[in-house]
Structure 1
């Protein structure tokens, strides 16, 4: 998955320096430091976004987490776990962001919300 929900290219014309910092500092340095895997960094970032109720960036980071080796089950578990630490409204809002992604992956049905047995 190529992270199609990333807002970086949409903001580049407005704040080109910020997009450059995202590319060079955040993804070029911070995400590549030793000590944590990209999978772990993705899960931490998702947790921080949920805790801060910053759902605008959440879908692209969920996509990135899947690219970085996190499973959909782990994303679901993060959402459940965070309900108790960040509050149910934050976890429910994050779940509403995750649902369309899970539907696109065939993990839940768009009609009834149950797992698709053919996926």
Structure 2
């Protein structure tokens, strides 16, 4: 059993070290830590943007991060439902499938 959480490994660093560094230092270091919005609010904005722009690859990571930042499952589902009318039914339908998998994975991790 591991006592300490394993630090997040940037998925870009092995092939694009500069992009990995910018992601870690600028995006998640500077941008996400600005005082104007809480991490919870930044997560809602980010998830909404990813859903609206059909950024399926990034949705799971940021939905999980949103849960970690205090966004509830009900709030994520309500966000997706709301976006169905502004971003379109297909993107909302896809996002529901992603959310389902994220929730299932979170439940499985709790059982471990």
TM-score bracket, shorter-length normalisation:
0.7 to 0.9
| 2:71 aligned partner | 70
Report what 2:85 is aligned to: 84
Distance 2:96 2:69 in 1: 20
Name the residue aligned to 1:15: 16
Structure 2: distance between partners of 1:51 and 1:25: 24
Query: Structure 2: which 5+ runs fail to align?
Result: 108-112
Q: Measure how far apart 1:36 and its partner are.
A: 0.6
| Residue-pair matches, total | 102
Instruction: For 1:24-63, list aligned pairs within 5 A.
Output: 24-63=25-64
Higher percent of residues as helix: 2
Cα distance in 2 between the residues matched to 1:105 and 1:59: 11
Q: Normalising by structure 2, what TM-score?
A: 0.84
Q: Deviations over 1:10-37 (max 9, x none)?
A: 3211111101001110111110111110
Q: Structure 1: where are the runs of 5+ without partners?
A: 107-119
SS in 1 for 2:10: helix
Higher alpha-carbon deviation: 52-61 or 95-104: 95-104
RMSD value over aligned CA atoms?
A: 1.8
Shift of 1:104: 3.1
Using structure 1 for the length normalisation, give the TM-score: 0.79
